[in-house]
């Protein structure tokens, strides 16, 4: 990630008035994307960026060179390149027959061009190399992985263990928004990612429903194709915990609904905090009694005491609930994406296992659905940080992502399948 990747740099860039130099380039690609086939556009894109001094449209080439010479080019040229890419990607995405061209376009930045003689071209080449280390290009790479995944297939368990974690992103649609969108993403890009996610979630829900039904009818059968990496016994245990009764007579979502109603009777936010800890920890303590008051629970309670103390005497409102749940998710999973610390999360899954840990997180987002995107972004931070590691090197994270799939799909899917 580039050291220039900061919110301020994008804010400065996005607040600038429309720049004719940039629009010249964008409009150029908008014009040709309707006239040329993808392979011709790929050649055009490559030629402009690597051989701009011989590009047929001199006006467009001069605009590119002028942008590369601007004083803030080290900070801002990546946004220009990203939008150039998405000018083509957003168009190709609407035409499934052209999806193959998207990974091809993204792959152009992986190839080192021979150093050019012209100083202007060398400057653009240097900025392209810098772009390949940016958040924007990392997000593009994940998109390429998703669109290439059907060609690769999932492979055997042993093969998966030897793969980089990044190869698995297509299996975890809840990561898409946090891992494919960057701070400069526009509405069209967000809509396309949402569409891609919905299709992946629909496919996952169907596969989970079929596999779950097959296990209930036939028991563990090696001929059943599992949509997860979890052993059949672990899968059944997790599904039972995320969808079955957790306190003797209520499922997770029913427990959350009950607590949501009960919390409205709290006279103040300060009174609510203790009750929230009891709601979160109660199902864990029922199975692991030490959690009724151990070090972890005391720390969680103290964290809540320290959260928004200026509102302790006030009635609970939507802002307070959402911000509180976000702060608890930061505490439980990971906080700062720039300096991510997740020791507490790792300790929790080592101590009580993935199922109870994910159940704890699930109770938060079932109680406050507006915090669900925040939880997804917490996992995106972990995924983005470890995506180059082999799956066998981060088994705790792979298993966490598998459990998050089950917990979120079974409780939040809107595709008509009940689990």
Per-residue pLDDT of the chain (419 residues; tens, 9 = 90+): 443 344 445 555 555 544 589 999 999 999 999 999 999 999 999 999 999 899 999 999 999 999 999 999 999 999 999 999 999 999 999 999 999 999 999 999 987 777 778 899 999 999 999 999 999 999 999 999 999 976 554 556 678 899 999 999 999 999 999 999 999 999 999 999 999 999 999 999 999 988 988 887 876 666 778 899 999 999 999 999 999 888 777 899 999 999 999 998 988 999 999 999 999 999 999 999 999 999 999 999 999 999 999 999 999 999 999 999 999 999 999 998 888 999 999 999 999 999 999 999 999 999 999 999 999 999 999 999 999 999 999 999 999 999 999 999 999 977 656 66
> In sequence order, which residues have a C-beta less than 8 Å from that of residue 305 and are 6 or more positions away?
273
The Cβ-side half-sphere exposure at 335, using a 13 Å CA radius, reads: 8
Q: Tokens representing 211? A: 């596999």
- Please work out, in degrees rounded to the nearest 5, the angle formed at the alpha carbon of residue 408 by the alpha carbons of 248 and 367: 60
Q: What is the pLDDT of residue 2?
A: 40
d(CA 397, CA 165): 9
Which phi and psi angles does 156 have, rounded to 5°? -80, 170
| pTM as predicted | 0.91
d(CA 335, CA 342): 8
Please give the span between the terminal C-alpha atoms of the chain, in angstroms, as a whole number.
Answer: 40
Q: How many helices (H) and strands (E) does the chain have?
A: 19, 0
If you search the block for the tokens 């891992």, which residue do you land on?
179
Q: Tokens representing 416? A: 């008509």
* Cα dihedral sign, 116-122-124-126: positive
Q: What is the pLDDT of residue 49?
A: 93
d(CA 311, CA 270): 8
């Amino acid at each position: 990630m580039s050291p220039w990747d900061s919110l301020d740099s994008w804010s400065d860039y996005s607040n600038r008035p429309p720049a004719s130099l940039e629009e010249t380039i964008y409009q150029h690609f908008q014009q040709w994307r309707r006239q040329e086939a993808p392979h011709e556009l790929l050649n055009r894109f490559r030629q402009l960026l690597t051989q701009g001094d011989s590009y047929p449209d001199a006006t467009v080439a001069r605009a590119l060179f002028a942008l590369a010479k601007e004083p803030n080019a080290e900070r801002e040229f990546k946004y220009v390149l990203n939008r150039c890419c998405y000018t083509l990607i957003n168009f190709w995405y609407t035409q499934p027959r052209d999806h193959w061209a998207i990974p091809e376009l993204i792959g152009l930045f992986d190839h080192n061009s021979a150093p050019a003689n012209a100083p202007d071209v060398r400057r653009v080449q240097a900025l392209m190399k810098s772009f390949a280390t940016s958040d924007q290009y990392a997000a593009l790479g994940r998109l390429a992985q998703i669109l290439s995944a059907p060609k690769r297939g999932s492979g055997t368990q042993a093969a998966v263990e030897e793969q980089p974690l990044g190869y698995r992103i297509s299996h975890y649609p809840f990561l898409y928004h946090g891992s494919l969108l960057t701070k400069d993403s526009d509405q069209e890009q967000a809509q396309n990612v949402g569409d891609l996610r919905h299709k992946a979630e629909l496919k996952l829900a169907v596969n989970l429903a079929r596999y779950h039904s097959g296990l209930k009818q036939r028991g563990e059968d090696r001929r059943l194709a599992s949509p997860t990496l979890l052993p059949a016994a672990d899968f059944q245990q997790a599904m039972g915990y995320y969808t079955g009764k957790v306190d003797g007579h209520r499922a997770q979502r029913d427990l959350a609904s009950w607590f949501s109603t009960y919390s409205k009777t709290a006279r103040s936010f300060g009174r609510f905090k203790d009750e929230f800890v009891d709601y979160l920890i109660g199902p864990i303590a029922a199975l692991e009694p030490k959690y009724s008051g151990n070090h972890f629970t005391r720390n969680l309670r103290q964290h809540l005491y320290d959260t928004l103390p200026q509102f302790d005497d006030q009635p609970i409102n939507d802002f307070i609930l959402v911000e509180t749940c976000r702060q608890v998710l930061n505490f439980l999973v990971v906080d700062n994406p720039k300096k991510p610390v997740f020791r507490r999360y790792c300790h929790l899954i080592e101590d009580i296992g993935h199922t109870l840990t994910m159940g704890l997180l699930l109770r938060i987002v079932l109680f406050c659905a507006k915090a669900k995107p925040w939880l997804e972004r917490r996992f995106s931070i972990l995924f983005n940080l470890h995506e180059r590691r082999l799956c066998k090197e981060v088994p705790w994270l792979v298993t966490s992502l598998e459990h998050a799939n089950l917990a979120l799909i079974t409780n939040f899917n809107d595709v008509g399948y009940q689990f």
